[in-house]
Amino acid sequence: MSWIRVRLVKILHWSEQYTKTDMKYLARGGFLSLFFQGVNIIASLALAVAVSHLVSKESYGIYKYALSIVTILSLFSLNSIGSAVFQSAAQGFDGALRRAFWDNIRWSFAIFVGAFLFGAYYLFTGNSTLGIGIFVGGLCTPFMISTNLFSSFLGGKKDFERQTIYGIYDSVIPIAIFVIIIFFTQDPLILILTYFLTNTLAGWFFYRRTIAAYHTSLHTEDHDMLRYGKHLSVMGILTGIASNLDQILLFHYVGAAQLAIYNFATAIPDQIKGPSKTLDAMLQAQLVHRTGDEIRSGMTNKTLWYFLCCALIAMTYIAIAPYLFALLFPNYAGAVFYSQVYALWILTVAFDPYTTYLSARRLVREQYIYNVAYTIIQTVGMFIGVIFWGLLGIVVARVITRLALGFVYYLLYRYAIARETSLVI
């Protein structure tokens, strides 16, 4: 086996002249990441198959609507503190995990108040399912977000093995419990409570395991982390509302059943977000320590390889989508066309290295610009789309938003890297 390993290392080293990337680092973390993502995708698909066969469109639509309300409320906290924890951990500030946990709880007052008000409203109007579900979700969410910071911390520490193992259990256990529950009930309130309680408890367990593993170095703190986390969270409010507005608009304009169809149409293409986020995190951990000249020299190659891989994935999915739905989600055959159109967004993942650079350099102004641009373009596009074309309008608006933002990302990167390397453009 040793000669195979030596040969593989040589191949990876040879490929670096074309990819302009540390391929040995990428392979080491990438293998574990792909394994985790593979398990997560299989578990998510198993959940989707079970839901498509056992839960009515109305019940599932109500469940997704409640989760969207709580998700929007959660934006009014330190919603992006995970990115700040990742960077602090990458720089050796291990105390960031514990501090961020409590900082997020302290800044979650708006979630508790918002959940109480929304819950009271729906209870007053006679909808106890949404009233109780949103109230419980608001109580659990701050703790669920804080406990799940363990993954960002482990990613920053490049502790890929522990991140993978913990991540698999943290994802699979709640999904397994959810699947068991839907065999006995379709009650959307029970589904909502199951989601929040299982994810919160699982996150707490692995947060405590991570604290125990790094207890000797938790005294080193990054005093700039909270300030940077606040900036990211303000941006996260804007983008988060725009990202979850589709659920709200569809629920109110076309109903819970169409919302369920939409969620199944986007379910499989959205699975690419997991691996892409992991690759971005690994790349960011590298870029933190790279010079501007080193980054500029390899960025074109990275973007090209990203695009080629994404184009292959998107085209393959579009071709096989009808067969996947016939096999996995026969009750949602009407979602196939929407899913094929939505899959075009995968091509825009090729622009991700540009935003990763801006995050690695903590370029706050540039990040504000692209987050505001995303919010405006997507919000306007979805309102126009849902009013005139319903579900299809929402899908097209999301694809166009990502394409337009790709060029915004490129321009921001171009001017930022020029500044850093004193390059005239």
The answer to whether 243 and 182 are in contact (CB under 8 A) is no
| 15's tokens | 């490929």
Residue-averaged pLDDT of the chain? 86
- DSSP for 20-55 reads -S-HHHHHHHHHHHHHHHHHHHHHHHHHHHHHHHHS
Average pLDDT over residues 18-46: 67
Q: Which of 281, 268, 416 is nearest to 346 (CA)?
A: 268
Q: What dihedral do alpha carbons 80, 83, 88, 92 form, nearest 10°?
A: 140
CA 252, 254, 257, 260 dihedral sign is negative
Please tell me the distance from the alpha carbon of residue 218 to that of residue 94, in angstroms, as a whole number: 5
Share of the chain above pLDDT 90, in %: 53
Please tell me the distance from the alpha carbon of residue 31 to that of residue 164, in angstroms, as a whole number: 10
Predicted pLDDT of residue 344: 95
Higher pLDDT, 275 or 201: 201
Q: How confident is the model at residue 316 (pLDDT cuts 50, 70, 90)?
A: very high
Q: Which of 124, 130, 142, 128 is nearest to 73 (CA)?
A: 142
Matching residue, tokens 């066969």: 53
Tens digit of each residue's pLDDT (9 = 90 or more) over 50-86:
999 999 999 999 999 999 999 999 988 887 888 889 8
Tens digit of each residue's pLDDT (9 = 90 or more) over 326-350:
999 999 999 999 999 999 999 999 9
The answer to whether 369 and 408 are in contact (CB under 8 A) is yes
Share of the chain above pLDDT 70, in %: 90
CA 127, 201, 272, 304 dihedral sign is positive
Average pLDDT over residues 367-380: 91
Predicted pLDDT of residue 125: 92
Q: Considering only CA atoms, give the Rg of the chain.
A: 22
Tens digit of each residue's pLDDT (9 = 90 or more) over 242-284:
888 899 999 989 898 999 999 999 999 988 777 777 677 777 7
The answer to whether 134 and 119 are in contact (CB under 8 A) is yes
Predicted pLDDT of residue 330: 92
- The length of the chain in residues reads 425
Amino acid, single-letter form, for residue 155: G
CB burial string 204-237: b at 16+ within 10 A, e below: bbbbeebbeebeeeeeeebeebbebbbbbbbbbb
| 297's tokens | 């020299």
Predicted pLDDT of residue 425: 47
Whether the predicted pLDDT of 172 surpasses 70: yes
Higher pLDDT, 97 or 302: 97
Predicted pLDDT of residue 424: 46
- Indicate the burial class of 15 (C-beta count within 10 angstroms; 0-12, 13-18, 19 or more): middle
Matching residue, tokens 């102004």: 365
Of 3-12, 292-301, 367-376, 410-419, the range with the lowest mean pLDDT is 3-12
Predicted pLDDT of residue 75: 87
Q: Which residues, at least 6 apart from 148, have a Cβ–Cβ distance to it below 8 Å?
A: 82, 170, 199, 203, 207
| 375's tokens | 């919010």
Please tell me the distance from the alpha carbon of residue 158 to that of residue 118, in angstroms, as a whole number: 40
Q: Where are the domains of the chain?
A: 19-421
What 8-state DSSP symbol labels residue 126?
Answer: T
Whether the predicted pLDDT of 158 surpasses 90: no
| 397's tokens | 């608006």
Q: Which of 358, 372, 338, 351 is nearest to 270 (CA)?
A: 338
Please tell me the distance from the alpha carbon of residue 207 to that of residue 97, in angstroms, as a whole number: 9
Instruction: Give the ranges where 254-344 is alpha helix by DSSP (H).
Output: 256-267, 273-287, 292-328, 336-342
Tens digit of each residue's pLDDT (9 = 90 or more) over 99-144:
999 999 988 988 999 999 999 999 999 999 999 999 999 999 999 9
